[in-house]
Amino acid sequence: MAEAPETIEGWWVLHDVRRVDWAQWRRLSPAQREAIIGEAQAYFAHSDAINGTGDGAFALYQVITQKGDLETLHFRPQAGMLFDIQNEMAKLQLNDFLQPAYAYFSIIELSRYNDVSDDPLRNPALAARLHHEIPATAYNCFYPMNKRRGERVNWYDTDVEERRALMRGHGMIGRKYADRVTQIVTGSQGLDDWEWGVTLFADDPLYFKKLIYEMRFDPASSRYAEFGPFYIGRRMRVQQLATFLALPRNQDGPQAQGL
């Protein structure tokens, strides 16, 4: 049996992507939409207030492509808190006009491949990586991934020293982009359909392409990595939710027109 490296875990993470049911949204009057937006903004403002407290993190994103419209990103110290968040969001009036598009449940993870041997309680830098604030960048990129187990290669059968060397080389590429891209890796074995989630943050989405393109040539990816769908989001302040959901006056529904 191949040696399994020890992992250390930090905050729990929930990515939640929704589509707006624009047809149903247009049927509401401006007053109805305003009330629904007000309730949602109040809820998200409460979520946003956790940033910087050390008790978790929150961010709201507009998603590009037809994979979704809105993404909420939540970090919390306990898994049960994310269950509560999902339940709270389901009770918002806005949820009646949102359709589930994608969600991912995982936990921030560091492996011992890179000799992470310090106690996070005594190492502030390590603790910060495990309890990571969401960077205040303009864009994020999320994708799930597996280590491939095909006919020719199997990551989980590989000797631990070879895996350690591969991950060291993989990390060297990431460090080249450290001043432009922040990466958070979350583990999801036994938690979701993929084995890891990768979330990248940058002020220019071009760096997502450049970083991932270069990493595809690295053996840790070219031989062993299997990638899931990619979700790209643009950071949205809570106050911008009203602008995002606003409709042109000529799109107001029958109730708005008194019909």
Q: Beta 196-202 vs 139-147: how paired, if at all?
A: antiparallel
- Give Cα 57 distance to the centre of its chain: 11
* pLDDT score at 259: 34
* pLDDT for the residue numbered 253: 59
First to last CA, the chain: 71
In a domain, 245, yes or no: yes
Per the structure block, which two tokens stand in for 126? 């390590």
Question: Where in the sequence is the domain holding 111, given as residue range(s)?
Answer: 7-251
Quick one: pLDDT at residue 131?
A: 95
CATH of the domain at 113: 3.30.70.1030
Question: Any idea what the Cα angle at residue 225 is, between residues 223 and 145, rounded to 5°?
Answer: 175
Is residue 234 within 8 Å of residue 244, measured between CB atoms? no
Q: Could you tell me the two tokens for 132? A: 């990571």
- Tens of pLDDT, residue by residue over 153-189, are 777 777 888 888 877 776 777 777 777 899 999 999 9
- With both helix axes pointing from N to C terminus, report the angle between 160-176 and 206-216 in degrees, rounded to the nearest 10: 150
The pair of three-digit structure tokens given for residue 14, joined into one six-digit string: 């929930």
Mean pLDDT of 111-127: 70
Q: Is there a domain that residue 43 lies in?
A: yes
187-212: pLDDT as tens digits = 999 999 999 999 999 999 999 999 99
The answer as to whether 35 is a domain residue is: yes
Token couple for 15: 């990515």
The H-assigned helical ranges of 92-195 are 124-130, 160-176
Does a structural domain hold residue 108? yes
What's the CA angle centered on 18, arms 13 and 24, to 5 degrees?
155
pLDDT of residue 138: 98
Average pLDDT for 241-256: 79
Number of domains in the chain: 1
The residues annotated as belonging to the active site are 143
Give residue-wise pLDDT tens across range 210-232.
Answer: 999 888 888 888 888 899 999 99
Is residue 259 in a domain? no
Q: Domain for residue 75, yes or no?
A: yes
Tens of pLDDT, residues 13-49: 999 999 999 999 999 999 999 999 999 999 999 999 9
What rounded mean pLDDT belongs to the chain? 90
- Helix, strand, or coil (residue 188): coil
Scan for tokens 């989980």, then name that residue.
156
